[in-house]
Structure 1
Amino acid sequence: MTEPKSTASQRLTQIKDFVTMNKTATTIPWDPDCTKFPTRKELPKIQGAPEGAAWVWGDDDYIGRLNLLTPTRVAAAAKEIQSGEIIPLNLPLNVPTQPAFDRQTFTHEIKTLAENYVYDDIYHLNTQSGTQWDGFRHFAHLPSGSFYNGTKGSDIVGPSANNKCSIHHWAEHGIAGRGILLDYRSYAHKKGIAYDPFDYYPISFEELYQCGKDQGIDIRPAAQGGDIRIGDMLFIRSGWKEAYDSKTPEVRAEAALRHGEGMEGQRWAGVSQEERMIDWLHDCYFAAVAGDSPTFEAWPTHEEYHLHEYILALWGMPLGEMLDLEKLAVKCRERGRWVFFFSSAPANCPGGVSSHVNGTAIL
C-alpha cells in the first residue's frame, strides 16, 4: 500500500532534521523553539482561517510571533550589548502635536492634591497618537472580517466583548530580543534618492536589500544564507521624524488632517506592498516589525489589500509605528553595527487595542 503523501513528507522532514540538526515546525501548534519554519508559500491550510493565515500557535494564542521570543533567543540577543548605551525610541507624548488620521491630540493635566506638596497628573490620549504598537485588535483581514486567530469585532466591543487578542497578553509575555535597524533614509541621501516622507513613496524590497548591503547586512533570512535570525525585530527608518522637524506646525497639521474617501487622503512613505516584500517579511520570521512613519507601509495602498492585514491579522506580528529612530541611526552608523538589544513594555490593559511602545535599544 502506498504511504499517504503527508506522512511520507513528514518522515522525510524528520530525516532531514536528523542530518542537519534542525527542528522543523510541522505539527500545529508549532513549537516556538523550532529552528526551521515554513515559508509563506509552504504555510499549511488552516480550517476556518483565511487563505495565508499563520494561526499556528494554538487556538487560545493571542501573542502571535512574540512566541518566537523564547528564553534561548532572548539570552542570545543579550550578547549584542557591547557598550551598554541606552537609547530610548519613544517620541514625546505630545509629538506629533496633531496625530495622523485626525486622531485625538494628547493633553496633560496637573492635578493638585496638596498645594506645594503633592501633585498627580492625568493623561488624555489615543494609544495611536504617537510612538505605538498596533495591537491585533487594531486591523482585521478585510475580506473575512477576522482579526488574528479568529477574533471578531463582537469580541472587541458589545455585549459579548472579551479579552481575545487584547494588548495585555503582550504585556504579560514581554517583548525583548535582538533588533536590526535598516537606515533607508541615510541610504537614500547617499544615493541621491529624493522623496518626501510626508508623501506616498514605496520603499521596494530591492531598495531595502541594497540598503542592508550598504550597511554590511544580508537581509535574507538565515535559512536562505542571510543574516536575519528567527525572532529578530526589524526597524526601518524612512525619515519621517527628520521631515517632521523640518516642517512648520501648519504643514504638519495639514498633512495629519488630509482626508479622502475612507483613510485614503493620508499620504506617507513606507515599505512597498509588493509580493516580494510580503514574502520577505513573512519568511524572516521577525518577532515584530516597526518603522518611524504613521503607517509603516507606503500609504495609501495601491493594491487590493493593506500590508496591515498580513502583518496583524494573518500572521500575528506586532507592528510598530512612529518610533524615534534618529539617535539610534546615528549611534549605529558611528559604530558600524546595526544590531542591538531591544525591549518594550506594552500597556497591561485588559481589553486594550494598542499601546505606546515604551521601547529601548541597548547597544
Structure 2
Amino acid sequence: MTKPRWQHRPDGSTWGDWGADDQLGRLNLIGPEQVLKGVAEVKTGKTFCLSLPLDYPGGQVLSPVRHPPQLRPVIRNKAPYYNYVWRDFDPRLTDVASDDAVLLYTQYSTQWDSLAHRGALFDADGDGVPEPVYYNGFRAGEHIVMDADQGVAAHALGIEQMAVHGVQGRGVLVDLHRHFGETPRKEVGYAELMRVMQIDGVTAEPGDILCLWTGLDQAIMRMQGKPDPSIKQACAVLDGRDNELLQWITDSGVAAIVADNLAVESVGKPLPEGYMGTSLPLHEHCLFKLGVHLGELWYLADLAEWLRTHGRSRFLLTAPPLRLPGAVGSPVTPIATV
C-alpha cells in the first residue's frame, strides 16, 4: 500500500477534498455547468485579447530574475534557417523560409502560476519536523525535482494539468482602478474590496475566475518596454496580510484569481519584527492551501472600459496555458468574449 503523502493538512486547506492525488485544486469547480455560465454572458460576440506583448513589461525593473524572450534562428545545413534561400542549397527550389526558437521565461509577462510555483515548509508528516511541500502534499525533491545538471520538472502540479483540464468559464471583473487610480499605491483589504464590489454591483460565485483591474497594465503599455522604478509603487494591490480577505477567498469559492499587476498582492513589504512565515501570504493561501491558480500581468484595460461602458462585469473567459509538461508557470494569451 502506498504511504499517504501527508498525515494532516494545513488549517483551512482543500488538500484531499478532490482526492488524494488531485492536482487541479479549485479548477475542479470549473466544469460544464460553469462553462455554460460563461457562454451565457456572450451577448455581442466581441472579443478582447487579455495578454500584454510577451516582451513587456520590458527590462528587469519589475523582476530582476526574469528576462524578456530571446528569439534565435533554427540552424539548418549549418546555416541560420531565417530568410533562408533554398536555391543556395538546391538550385531546383524557389522557396524562402524562416524558423525560430525562443528562450522564454515562463513568468516574465502575462502568465499563469501553477500549483508547483509556491510551496511551504510544513509538517505534513506530523512528526514535528516541517518539510518542503506543495499543494496536496506533493514533495520537493520527489515530485518537483531538479537534477545535478539543473534540469527541472514538476512531475506533479505542472502547468500541463491546468492545460489538459482546460481554462474556460465565467470571468468576473472588479475595477479597482476606477476607485483608487494609479497613485499613490493602495493596498486593498477585505473591507475595501467588498465596498468596491458593492458599489459597482459585482458578485463572485463559486467557480468564477476573479479578475482585478488596477491600471498597471496601461501604465506598462505607456512606458513602451522601458519601465522606470515608479511602476513598482503604482496602482492597487491586494493586502495579502489581511486575514479577512484571505478568508473571503476561501468562502467565495472563486476558482482562480487574475490581476494586471506583478503578483496580485503587495510584494517587497518589510517583514514585521519577530515574524516567521511566508513573504507572500496570498500566494501561500491560494497556491499552497486552496489550490487557487493565480494569473499575473494580464492586460485588462480595454475589457474593463467596455464592461464599465455597458454596465457589465461578467464575460466568457478562455485562458488555457501552454501544455508544457513539468513547467511551474506558463505564458498565456487569454481571450474575453462579451
Q: What TM-score does the superposition give when structure 1 sets the normalisation length?
A: 0.74
Match of 2:239 in 1: 272
- The code of the aligned residue for 2:206 comes to I
| Contact 1:196-1:243 at 8 Å conserved across structures | no
Match of 2:310 in 1: 335
- The code of the aligned residue for 2:238 comes to V
| 1:246-325 to 2 correspondences below 5 Å | 246-247=222-223, 252-254=227-229, 269-273=236-240, 274-301=242-269, 304-305=277-278, 306-325=281-300
| Contact 1:97-1:106 at 8 Å conserved across structures | no
Match of 2:46 in 1: 85
Structure 2: distance between partners of 1:268 and 1:48: 39
Instruction: Report the CA distance shift for 1:348/1:248 in structure 2 as closer, same or farther (over 3 A).
Output: closer
Match of 2:27 in 1: 66
Secondary structure of 2:23's match?
coil
Match of 2:220 in 1: 244
Secondary structure of 2:63's match?
helix
| Contact 1:267-1:300 at 8 Å conserved across structures | no
Deviation of 1:77 after TM superposition, in Å, equals: 2.0
Deviation of 1:300 after TM superposition, in Å, equals: 2.7
1:231 aligns to 2:207 (yes or no): yes
Instruction: Report the CA distance shift for 1:156/1:50 in structure 2 as closer, same or farther (over 3 A).
Output: same
Kindly indicate whether structure 1 or structure 2 has the higher relative contact order, using CA contacts under 8 Å at least 6 residues apart.
Answer: 2
1:141 aligns to 2:120 (yes or no): yes
| Contact 1:268-1:294 at 8 Å conserved across structures | no
Structure 2: distance between partners of 1:183 and 1:95: 22
Match of 2:91 in 1: none
Match of 2:161 in 1: 169
Instruction: Report the CA distance shift for 1:248/1:120 in structure 2 as closer, same or farther (over 3 A).
Output: closer
- The code of the aligned residue for 2:243 comes to E
Deviation of 1:179 after TM superposition, in Å, equals: 0.4
- The code of the aligned residue for 2:249 comes to L
| 1:101-180 to 2 correspondences below 5 Å | 101-102=63-64, 103-110=66-73, 111-112=81-82, 114-115=84-85, 117-143=96-122, 144=130, 145-154=132-141, 155-158=143-146, 163-180=155-172
Secondary structure of 1:280's match?
helix
Structure 1: distance between partners of 2:155 and 2:175: 37
Instruction: Report the CA distance shift for 1:62/1:113 in structure 2 as closer, same or farther (over 3 A).
Output: farther
Deviation of 1:54 after TM superposition, in Å, equals: 1.1
1:210 aligns to 2:195 (yes or no): yes
State the superposition RMSD in angstroms: 2.4
Unaligned segments of structure 1, at least 5 residues:
1-45, 218-226, 259-265
- The code of the aligned residue for 2:100 comes to D
| Contact 2:145-2:155 at 8 Å conserved across structures | no
Q: Which structure has the highest strand share of the two? A: 2
1:195 aligns to 2:183 (yes or no): yes
Instruction: Report the CA distance shift for 1:66/1:105 in structure 2 as closer, same or farther (over 3 A).
Output: same
| Contact 1:98-1:253 at 8 Å conserved across structures | no
Aligned residues: 293
Q: Which structure has the highest helix share of the two? A: 1
Deviation of 1:161 after TM superposition, in Å, equals: 6.1
Structure 2: distance between partners of 1:68 and 1:286: 8
Deviation of 1:132 after TM superposition, in Å, equals: 0.7
| Contact 1:132-1:320 at 8 Å conserved across structures | yes
Instruction: Report the CA distance shift for 1:162/1:296 in structure 2 as closer, same or farther (over 3 A).
Output: closer
Match of 1:348 in 2: 323
Structure 2: distance between partners of 1:169 and 1:142: 23
Structure 1: distance between partners of 2:58 and 2:177: 23
1:97 aligns to 2:67 (yes or no): no
Unaligned segments of structure 2, at least 5 residues:
1-5, 74-80, 86-94, 123-129
- The code of the aligned residue for 1:104 comes to H
Structure 2: distance between partners of 1:284 and 1:326: 25
- 1:268-315 per-residue CA deviation (whole Å, 9 max, x = no partner) reads 841012011001111111111010111100123456432100100111
Match of 1:30 in 2: none
- Percent identity between the two aligned chains: 30
Q: What TM-score does the superposition give when structure 2 sets the normalisation length?
A: 0.80
Match of 2:8 in 1: 48
| Contact 2:168-2:318 at 8 Å conserved across structures | yes
Secondary structure of 1:52's match?
coil
